[in-house]
């Protein structure tokens, strides 16, 4: 199959979950003998979209990557002001202004639409990642009708998701690759019920052996203290600051050696506390070492469409404690039997007390999580499901017949 991926960022230095997810699929589909190309930007940082990779083509792990430059044409002050107006004011904002906000969010490339108009029909299927960004909003519209399309929406219940500007986009793919059953239900509620799809999730490799737990402990001054681990960006929207505050309260009520370790880039500073450590961004090897030594993973995030870090912890046989107000985390915990749920401080306290006082319980939770990941997120199974999904999209496209390309009104783009 000739597969084209369209994604806002792509590369080894890119930290976002959806982008890593895309890279995993592209690389592994190429390894299975498919011809895979990626259309993306030169950006690494999702806030500035500044060009960091050179524009042009490169080969990466058997995949041809086409990088487009994304000159930032709207200043951040305008983006923030518009963002408040569009997302938070509660007023009805004219569609043209919402589109300005969407473009200001970035990344926008003047070349993306003509590239897809010219070349997307040469692929068997075009796969888009993340409903939120302009690359998907404009790209799906251009490729739809020219080539079968699949969308990994990586959607969760957040304000932008409900904006009418996404109505068309969310209904237009030939098929959806849902991360979880909960994401599927959310998209159906949003009006995308007519689009078929499959719950694909993400594949997970078994945790590498020989991870250097002691090196991690030594580098961050943890000695032999037990610690809870939080993986991912330190951000109030991810629940990190609430968790730090609750942990401080927990330590007042349960003094002892227990520490809380945040591993991930810092969008905000972590509140200073003698028992809270923030390492910043670390290498994959160090991250695995951090997991190996942890008592449990805590996932306090309010917004997740899958939570790769949770699957990562389970793959390493670690138990987890998860924010159950997030329906995806609550359901994953229930399905796997590998995590204890909490909503508020008291639940967290009860869960931590239980984990610390009963090592056998912690081990059993971790084991259940590992079995769950091995069964559902084994790459071989995930990719078999995925190939069936791409075939479904192609069949659906063929059944509907080739439609007239949507750009036919634009001078010079007529097919």
Footprint on this chain of other proteins (rule: CB under 8 A) = 87-88, 90, 94-96, 141, 144-145, 157-159, 161-162, 167-168, 171-172, 181, 185, 188-191, 193-194, 198-199, 237, 242, 246, 249, 253, 302-303, 325, 335, 337, 340-341, 344-347, 349-351, 354, 361, 364, 368, 371-372, 375-376, 380-381, 384-385, 388, 403-406
Nearest to 329 by CA among 345, 348, 309: 309
Q: What is the C-alpha separation between 126 and 146, in angstroms, rounded? A: 10
Nearer to other proteins, 211 or 365 (CB): 365
Q: What is the C-alpha separation between 145 and 216, in angstroms, rounded? A: 51
Q: Could you tell me the maximum CA-CA distance found in the chain, to the nearest angstrom?
A: 71
Residue 57, judged by CB atoms within 10 A of its CB (0-12, 13-18, 19+), counts as: exposed
Nearer to other proteins, 144 or 289 (CB): 144
Least gap, CB of 162 to other proteins (angstroms) = 4
Least gap, CB of 78 to other proteins (angstroms) = 18
Least gap, CB of 202 to other proteins (angstroms) = 15
In this structure, are strands 56-60 and 63-68 parallel, antiparallel, or unpaired? antiparallel
Contact 204, 373 (CB under 8 A): yes
Nearer to other proteins, 35 or 188 (CB): 188
Which letter does DSSP use for residue 265 in this model?
-
Q: What is the C-alpha separation between 202 and 299, in angstroms, rounded? A: 18
Least gap, CB of 356 to other proteins (angstroms) = 13
Nearer to other proteins, 92 or 210 (CB): 92
Least gap, CB of 386 to other proteins (angstroms) = 10
Contact 123, 99 (CB under 8 A): no
Nearer to other proteins, 18 or 98 (CB): 98
- Give the pair of three-digit tokens for residue 391: 């075939």
Least gap, CB of 401 to other proteins (angstroms) = 9
| Cross-strand partners of 321 | 298, 340
The residue to which tokens 């404690």 are assigned: 321
Nearer to other proteins, 54 or 95 (CB): 95
- Give the pair of three-digit tokens for residue 293: 């030594």
Q: What is the C-alpha separation between 38 and 10, in angstroms, rounded? A: 8
Nearer to other proteins, 214 or 395 (CB): 395
Least gap, CB of 388 to other proteins (angstroms) = 5
Least gap, CB of 335 to other proteins (angstroms) = 8
* Other Cβ atoms closer than 10 A to 131: 24
Nearest to 298 by CA among 350, 357, 340, 347: 340
What is the spatial order of strands in the sheet that 175-178 belongs to? 56-60, 63-68, 35-41, 2-6, 125-129, 149-152, 175-178, 197-199
Nearer to other proteins, 1 or 60 (CB): 1
Least gap, CB of 342 to other proteins (angstroms) = 8
End-to-end Cα distance, the chain: 23
Helix, strand, or coil (residue 2): strand
Nearer to other proteins, 31 or 354 (CB): 354
The residue to which tokens 């078929």 are assigned: 196
Nearer to other proteins, 127 or 382 (CB): 382
Least gap, CB of 45 to other proteins (angstroms) = 24
């Amino acid at each position: 199959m000739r597969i084209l991926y369209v994604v806002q960022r792509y590369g080894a230095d890119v930290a976002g979950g959806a982008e890593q997810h895309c890279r995993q699929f592209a690389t592994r589909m190429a390894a299975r003998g498919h011809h895979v190309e990626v259309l993306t930007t030169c950006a690494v940082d999702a806030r500035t979209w500044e060009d960091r990779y050179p524009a042009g083509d490169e080969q990466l792990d058997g995949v041809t990557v086409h990088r487009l430059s994304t000159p930032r044409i709207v200043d951040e002050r305008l983006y923030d002001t518009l963002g408040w107006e569009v997302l938070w004011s509660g007023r009805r904002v004219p569609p043209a202004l919402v589109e300005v906000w969407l473009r200001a969010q970035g990344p926008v490339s003047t070349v993306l639409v003509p590239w897809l108009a010219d070349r997307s029909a040469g692929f068997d299927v075009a796969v888009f990642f993340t409903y939120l960004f302009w690359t998907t909003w404009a790209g799906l519209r251009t490729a739809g009708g020219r080539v079968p399309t699949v969308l990994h929406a990586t959607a969760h219940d957040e304000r932008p998701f409900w904006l009418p500007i996404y109505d068309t986009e969310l209904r237009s793919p030939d098929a959806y690759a849902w991360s979880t059953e909960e994401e599927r239900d959310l998209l159906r509620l949003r009006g995308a019920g007519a689009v078929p799809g499959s719950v694909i999730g993400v594949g997970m490799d078994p945790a590498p052996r020989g991870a250097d737990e002691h090196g991690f402990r030594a580098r961050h001054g943890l000695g032999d203290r037990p610690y809870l681990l939080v993986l991912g960006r330190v951000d109030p929207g991810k629940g990190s600051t609430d968790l730090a505050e609750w942990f401080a309260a927990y330590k007042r009520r349960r003094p002892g050696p227990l520490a809380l370790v945040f591993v991930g880039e810092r969008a905000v500073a972590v509140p200073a506390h003698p028992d809270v450590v923030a390492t910043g961004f670390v290498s994959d090897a160090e991250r695995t070492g951090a997991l190996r030594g942890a008592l449990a993973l805590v996932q306090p995030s309010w917004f997740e469409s899958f939570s790769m870090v949770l699957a990562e912890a389970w793959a390493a046989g670690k138990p987890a404690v998860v924010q159950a107000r997030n329906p995806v985390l609550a359901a994953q915990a229930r399905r796997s039997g590998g995590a204890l749920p909490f909503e508020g401080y008291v639940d967290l306290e009860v869960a931590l007390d239980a984990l610390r006082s009963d090592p056998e319980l912690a081990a059993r939770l971790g084991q259940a999580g590992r079995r769950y990941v091995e069964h559902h997120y084994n790459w071989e199974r995930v990719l078999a499901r995925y190939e069936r999904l791409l075939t479904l999209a192609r069949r659906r496209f063929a059944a509907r017949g080739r439609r007239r390309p949507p750009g036919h009104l634009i001078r010079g783009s007529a097919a």
